[in-house]
């Protein structure tokens, strides 16, 4: 049986060893992302109002657009543009809604997953019951919206029961959070007119499941926006939201699959593609050369890893918004064929409106996907010209060849770190919200062993970030390995060692690991931030 052990050195000694240590954080004043800890997110979820509003730090799409124009005018010494009149705003909003609806219907027709409609699993099916984690979305009226497994039509009765439980608790002036029944956890997240429920028999904690449900909720908002969602149910409480989400279920499916093994979501951090700093700088400068009044964000992605991002001054993206962008790219093959134009709402940036994304792959032989985001829904051709300028600059410095080689090489191996007793690790720079980890290798070769390792990381994460008893360092020993979790003001680290490794040896190995990460930080992290 596994045992929990206290660290062999005092917390004061730990802080002395690691004072001022944070590889991967150099230009803190120019951080790409709005960094935040798991505790911050947990407090935000607890304090969130039931009307579905997100963080008070949410930025405005309109202000981002005006800021970009203002920067141009300041450079030219001109006065700031006047704001549109109320009548113009109404016309623009109506035209925008019509354009969004048309784009959504076309997208639904092109990516609809017929296998979901053909599913016959229901709650009486042993195969359906055997799944470790179910996720359901229903309206406050009990109408089914989404289920991870099976078909919503076969689960109407069960979702109606879930809605009845929520209503019963609300009638007593309270809100249900979770139910524990044997090995299963039922976790509820109520956001405005919709209810999200996770039923789980895996190692995920309640707080971790709430985080996952929040991502699913944000995925829904990325298609509809909070404003449209609330407006729909204000007008028709019994509206079947599946009509508007038709074809986008695959994005929720893909998101849930990613969250089952990708630590990006758990850490609220972004993984960067390992790349020489000189090449990354050349790409950033190529992005800057394509500066346009309509361009707000320029993002380059390779296999769910960030290459670089260029943004407006004083504006940044939250990692959770960037994860939605990664999910958009990875869940659809349609972007490989041609330049695409799609609206997307980034809830942590502004949950009330859309950004418009020009999405394209740079070359048939290169897996790099370029996203150019604008506040102008008519900027497709302008951004297409920006893409041509960026591609020309990148080809001049042979950036595509470097990106292709980096993608083929993939993540580095643990042997490159040179610490024999270290089997695997996940390191996050807390101030920059970036993380790195090697390929999972021996002894975690099989999918079952990899799932078990991630489950151990989840357990350590839960214990360390416990709201009732938070810890800074924790060792967890099993018959197969020794797991160490370590959180300081600068970094967050989870590592797996051989089972005979002592706690003192593990701490010494972590110090050597930090020195290695510091040495390689120009390759593993985005050090320089580029702005328009």
Q: pLDDT digits over 426-439, tens only? A: 999 998 999 999 99
pTM of the model: 0.85
Asked whether the beta carbons of 458 and 206 are under 8 A apart, the reply is no
The DSSP output letter for 501 is -
Does residue 348 have a cis bond before it (omega within 30 degrees)? Answer: no
Q: Is residue 51 very low, low, confident or very high in pLDDT (cuts 50, 70, 90)?
A: very low
CA 354 to chain centre: 18
- Mean pLDDT value of segment 482-488: 95
pLDDT given at position 86: 42
The answer on pLDDT for 264 being more than 70 is: yes
The two beta strands, 270-271 and 434-436, are parallel
pLDDT given at position 125: 82
What are the two backbone dihedrals, phi and then psi, of residue 425, each rounded to the nearest 5 degrees?
-155, 160
d(CA 431, CA 491): 8
Any idea how long the chain is? 532
With residue 343 as reference, give the H or E element that holds it: strand 340-344
Query: What pLDDT, in 10s, does the model give residues 130-158?
Result: 899 999 999 999 999 999 998 888 889 99
pLDDT given at position 25: 79
d(CA 99, CA 396): 37
Q: Is residue 76 very low, low, confident or very high in pLDDT (cuts 50, 70, 90)?
A: very low
Q: How far is CA 296 from CA 219, 244, 338, 441, in A?
A: 21, 27, 22, 40
CB half-sphere exposure, 517, CA atoms < 13 A: 26
- Mean pLDDT value of segment 363-369: 91
d(CA 33, CA 212): 20
End-to-end CA distance of the chain: 56
Share of the chain above pLDDT 90, in %: 65
Residues facing 341 on adjacent strands: 358
The DSSP output letter for 490 is S
For residue 209, give the nearest of 186, 190, 237, 233 by alpha carbon.
186
Mean pLDDT of the chain: 83
Classified as helix, coil or strand, 306 is: strand
Q: Is residue 44 very low, low, confident or very high in pLDDT (cuts 50, 70, 90)?
A: low
For the ranges 56-60, 232-236, 480-484, the lowest mean pLDDT is seen at 56-60
pLDDT given at position 399: 93
The two beta strands, 144-147 and 270-271, are unpaired
The answer on pLDDT for 168 being more than 90 is: yes
């Amino acid at each position: 049986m596994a045992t929990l052990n206290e660290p062999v050195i005092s917390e004061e000694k730990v802080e002395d060893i690691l004072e001022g240590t944070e590889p991967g954080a150099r230009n803190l004043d120019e951080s790409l992302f709005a960094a935040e800890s798991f505790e911050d997110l947990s407090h935000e979820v607890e304090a969130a109002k039931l009307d579905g509003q997100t963080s008070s730090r949410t930025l405005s799409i309109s202000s981002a657009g005006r800021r970009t124009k203002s920067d141009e005018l300041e450079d030219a010494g001109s006065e700031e543009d006047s704001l549109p009149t109320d009548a113009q705003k109404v016309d623009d909003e109506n035209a925008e809604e019509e354009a969004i609806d048309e784009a959504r219907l076309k997208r639904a027709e092109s990516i609809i997953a017929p296998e979901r409609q053909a599913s016959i699993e229901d709650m009486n099916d042993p195969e359906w019951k055997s799944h470790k984690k179910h996720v359901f979305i229903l309206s406050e009226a009990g109408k089914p919206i989404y289920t991870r497994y099976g078909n919503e039509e076969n689960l109407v009765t069960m979702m109606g029961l879930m809605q009845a439980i929520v209503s019963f608790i609300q009638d007593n002036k309270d809100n249900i959070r979770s139910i524990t029944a044997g090995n299963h956890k039922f976790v509820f997240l109520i956001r405005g007119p919709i209810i999200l429920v996770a039923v789980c028999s895996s190692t995920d904690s309640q707080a971790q499941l709430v985080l996952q449900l929040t991502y699913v909720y944000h995925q829904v908002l990325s298609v509809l926006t909070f404003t449209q969602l609330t407006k729909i149910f204000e007008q028709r409480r019994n509206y079947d939201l599946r009509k508007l989400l038709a074809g986008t279920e695959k994005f929720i499916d893909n998101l849930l699959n990613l969250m089952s093994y990708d630590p990006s979501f758990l850490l609220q951090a972004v993984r960067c593609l390992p790349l020489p700093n000189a090449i990354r700088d050349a790409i950033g400068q190529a992005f800057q050369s394509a500066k346009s009044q309509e361009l707000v964000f320029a993002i380059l992605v390779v296999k769910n890893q960030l290459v670089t991002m260029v943004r407006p001054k004083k504006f940044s993206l939250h990692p959770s918004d960037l994860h939605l962008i990664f999910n958009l790219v990875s869940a659809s093959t349609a972007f490989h064929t041609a330049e695409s134009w799609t609206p997307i709402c980034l809830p942590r940036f502004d949950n009330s409106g859309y950004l418009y994304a020009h999405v394209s792959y740079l070359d048939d032989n290169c897996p790099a996907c370029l996203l150019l985001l604008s506040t102008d829904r008519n900027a497709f051709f302008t951004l297409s010209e920006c893409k041509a300028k960026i591609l020309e600059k990148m080809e001049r410095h042979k950036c595509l060849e470097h990106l292709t080689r980096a993608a083929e090489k993939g993540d580095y191996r643990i042997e490159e770190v040179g610490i024999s007793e270290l089997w695997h690790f996940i390191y996050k720079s807390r101030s920059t919200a970036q993380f790195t980890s090697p390929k999972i290798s021996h002894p975690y070769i099989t999918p079952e062993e990899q799932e078990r390792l991630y489950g151990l990381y989840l357990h350590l994460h839960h214990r360390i970030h416990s709201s009732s008893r938070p810890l800074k360092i924790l060792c967890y020993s099993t018959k197969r390995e020794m797991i160490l979790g370590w959180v300081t003001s600068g970094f967050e680290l989870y590592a797996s060692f051989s089972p005979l490794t002592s706690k003192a040896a593990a701490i010494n190995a972590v110090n050597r690991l930090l020195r290695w990460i510091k040495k390689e930080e120009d390759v593993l992290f985005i050090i320089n931030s580029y702005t328009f």
